[in-house]
């Protein structure tokens, strides 16, 4: 054996069980009770929990807004991700004007390769005003990118209803998955113009211009198109009760639809926009009301929420503050890839939720939906040895100065945290031990994702 993680409690699909994790050649060899202490290098997980490595399916490393560049690149962002227990990332390939989708995918891989400390995949963005994409979508699927992002907002990215319909049909034809950023562009633009004319330029203008109605309108339209095309559909960063109702109804009718939310929508509410530095909390969609937050938690506890991702897209205080007096010019995005697990674990403890549900939302379910299971998101024998040793006994606070994301402030500054990431293993390599970095050069690799239905040999329970 190459590695033994001893003495911990493994968070499994059917509960938490005491077991040792045996690792050989970068994969999980077995989960056993009382493994051989002489079988290889030993990591002590006594009194700790062992989670499968988190799979964050929504990050933006080095994202260029035109005026601003998000401050984490693949090197700094993937290292910070590891400190947060994330062992697999999925970022985005944005085609340049006239660039073939497959070429955009290769170009983005060339940026990430040799820079990532954890494994990664890529979604491909489908831009407007293209009519030759069917063959290119098929080529991307062959290259291991089976998920395609469709935007209903933003200049140069927004797709009209007909374009969404056509692209969903193409994606469905190749067995892929469509991702939707759901905000109604016409509604948001109209609200923004009205607010600017009224002189409402503070951060509250961002919230008022992107209300729950804008999200629900776009979700409803996308679901109508999905019903016609039967394209598997995943909504990113859902933030409102109204959108949840539409998705719930579609699922009840048998639609192949899933959705994610993010820690910022579960933990923060629109009160942040009334703070003195409220402009720093601008993110799209906007953080919603406490009623929307409560609806997200209710959906989570009912088993209706499918995945949690971070939408990690950090900007410095200077970048956020540059146009603080005009919400239309502040870069939108928040850091989150390093803090998600500790923040969510704290909420889980406070609310008395089962830990297997946390592991499912952050590891297993995203791996399944995005074509990574059983290689990722699982500690079943044969899976990549991606795991997190989490110490639930520690107590602390979020402080930007203690974090490793390349940003000098944090939206959760001072927030209480229960537990901390102690050790992180990626494909059998120890990246973090006892809270300290011990990884060497970046060895994260691109992971092709399959449209084939996943299976776990031996079923859901892996202990004899």
**Region 176-191: what's the mean pLDDT?**
98
Of 341, 245, 359, the C-alpha closest to 296 is: 245
- What is the rounded CA–CA span in Å between residue 268 and residue 285? 13
- What is the rounded CA–CA span in Å between residue 204 and residue 324? 12
> Does residue 352 register a pLDDT over 70?
yes
pLDDT tens digit string along 14-28? Answer: 999 999 999 999 999
Tokens encoding 76: 């700094």
Q: Which residue has the higher pLDDT, 134 or 420?
A: 420
Tokens encoding 388: 């997190």
- What is the rounded CA–CA span in Å between residue 242 and residue 247? 9
pLDDT tens digit string along 310-343? Answer: 999 999 999 999 999 999 999 999 999 999 999 9
State the pLDDT at residue 34.
75
Backbone angles phi, psi at 134, to 5 degrees: -55, -50
pLDDT tens digit string along 355-371? Answer: 999 999 999 999 999 99
> Does residue 461 register a pLDDT over 60?
no
- What is the rounded CA–CA span in Å between residue 407 and residue 109? 24
State the pLDDT at residue 129.
82
Of 405, 443, 438, the C-alpha closest to 424 is: 438
Q: Is residue 213 exposed (0-12), middle (13-18) or buried (19+ Cβ within 10 Å)?
A: middle
In contact, 43 and 36? CB cutoff 8 Å: no
Tokens encoding 233: 């559909």
In contact, 148 and 177? CB cutoff 8 Å: yes
Tokens encoding 306: 């499918």
**DSSP character at residue 237:** S
Three-state DSSP state, 196: helix
> Does residue 210 register a pLDDT over 50?
yes
CA–CA distances in Å: residue 116 to residues 69, 442, 447? 18, 5, 12
Question: Which residues are within 8 A (CB) of 193 and not within 5 positions of it... i.e. 6 or more apart?
Answer: none
Q: Is residue 370 exposed (0-12), middle (13-18) or buried (19+ Cβ within 10 Å)?
A: buried
- What is the rounded CA–CA span in Å between residue 459 and residue 464? 12
End-to-end C-alpha distance for the chain, whole angstroms: 19
**Region 264-271: what's the mean pLDDT?**
98
State the pLDDT at residue 451.
77
> Does residue 455 register a pLDDT over 50?
no
Question: Which residues are within 8 A (CB) of 21 and not within 5 positions of it... i.e. 6 or more apart?
Answer: 4, 5, 8, 10, 28, 31, 50, 379, 385, 387
Of 453, 389, 461, 456, the C-alpha closest to 146 is: 453
Confidence of residue 75 (pLDDT cuts 50, 70, 90): very high
**Region 119-125: what's the mean pLDDT?**
98
- What is the rounded CA–CA span in Å between residue 192 and residue 82? 38
pLDDT tens digit string along 370-422? Answer: 999 999 999 999 999 999 999 999 999 999 999 999 999 999 999 999 999 99
- What is the rounded CA–CA span in Å between residue 341 and residue 329? 31
pTM score: 0.96
**Which residue(s) pair with 390 in the sheet?**
49, 421
In contact, 112 and 62? CB cutoff 8 Å: no
**DSSP character at residue 131:** S
pLDDT tens digit string along 231-248? Answer: 999 999 999 999 999 999
- The dihedral through the CA atoms of 48, 51, 56, 62 has a sign that is positive
- What is the rounded CA–CA span in Å between residue 307 and residue 364? 9
Q: What is the mean pLDDT of the chain?
A: 95
> Does residue 448 register a pLDDT over 70?
yes
- What is the rounded CA–CA span in Å between residue 213 and residue 188? 10
Task: Determine which helix (DSSP H) or strand (DSSP E) holds 421, and give its type and residue range.
Answer: strand 416-426
In contact, 218 and 196? CB cutoff 8 Å: no
Backbone angles phi, psi at 272, to 5 degrees: -60, -25
DSSP string, 367-403: HHHTT-TTTSS--STTSB--EEEEEEEEEEE--GGG-
Angle, CA 440 vertex, CA 435 and CA 441 arms, to 5°: 135
Confidence of residue 459 (pLDDT cuts 50, 70, 90): very low
Cis peptide before 238 (omega within 30 of 0): no
| CATH code of the region 53-369 | 3.20.20.140
- What is the rounded CA–CA span in Å between residue 150 and residue 379? 32
State the pLDDT at residue 163.
95
Tokens encoding 430: 């120890």
State the pLDDT at residue 460.
47
Of 406, 399, 380, the C-alpha closest to 461 is: 380
């Amino acid at each position: 054996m190459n590695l033994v993680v001893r003495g911990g409690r493994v968070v499994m699909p059917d509960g938490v069980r005491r077991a040792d994790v045996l690792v050989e050649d970068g994969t999980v060899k077995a989960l056993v009770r009382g493994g051989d202490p002489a079988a290889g290098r030993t990591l002590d997980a006594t009194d700790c929990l062992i989670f499968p490595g988190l799979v964050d399916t929504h990050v933006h490393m080095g994202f260029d807004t035109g005026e601003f560049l998000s401050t984490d690149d693949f090197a700094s962002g993937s290292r910070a991700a590891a400190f947060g227990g994330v062992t697999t990332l999925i970022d985005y390939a944005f085609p340049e004007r006239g660039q073939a989708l497959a070429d955009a995918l290769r170009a983005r891989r060339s940026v990430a390769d040799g820079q990532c400390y954890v494994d990664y995949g890529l979604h491909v963005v489908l831009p407007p005003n293209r009519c030759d994409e069917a063959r290119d979508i098929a080529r991307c699927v062959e290259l291991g990118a089976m998920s395609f992002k469709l935007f209903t907002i933003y200049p140069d990215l927004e797709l009209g209803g007909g374009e969404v319909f056509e692209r969903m049909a193409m994606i469905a034809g190749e067995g892929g998955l469509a991702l939707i950023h759901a905000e109604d562009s016409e509604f948001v633009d109209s609200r923004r113009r009205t607010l600017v004319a009224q002189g409402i330029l503070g951060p509250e203008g961002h919230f008022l211009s992107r209300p729950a109605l804008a999200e629900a309108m776009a979700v409803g339209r996308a679901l109508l198109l999905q019903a016609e095309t039967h394209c598997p559909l995943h909504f990113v960063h859902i933030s409102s009760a109204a959108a949840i109702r539409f998705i719930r109804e579609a699922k009840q009718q048998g639609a192949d639809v899933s959705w994610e939310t993010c820690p910022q929508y579960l933990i923060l509410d629109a009160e942040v926009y009334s703070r003195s530095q409220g402009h720093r909390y601008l993110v799209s969609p906007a953080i919603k009301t406490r009623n929307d937050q409560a609806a997200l938690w209710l959906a989570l506890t009912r088993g209706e929420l499918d995945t949690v991702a971070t939408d990690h897209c950090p900007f410095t205080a200077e970048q956020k503050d540059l146009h603080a007096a005009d919400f239309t010019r502040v870069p939108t995005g928040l850091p989150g890839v390093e803090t998600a697990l500790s923040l969510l674990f704290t909420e889980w403890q406070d609310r008395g939720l089962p830990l297997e549900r946390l592991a499912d939302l952050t590891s297993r379910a995203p791996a399944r939906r995005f074509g990574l299971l059983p290689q990722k998101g699982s500690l079943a024998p044969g899976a990549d040895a991606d795991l997190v040793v989490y110490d639930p006994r520690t107590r602390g606070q979020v402080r930007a100065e203690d974090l490793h994301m390349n940003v000098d402030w944090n939206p959760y500054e001072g927030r209480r945290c229960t537990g901390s990431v102690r050790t992180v293993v990626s494909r059998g390599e120890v990246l973090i031990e006892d809270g300290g970095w011990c990884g060497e050069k970046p060895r994260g690799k691109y992971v092709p994702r399959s449209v084939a239905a996943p299976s776990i040999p031996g079923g859901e329970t892996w202990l004899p």
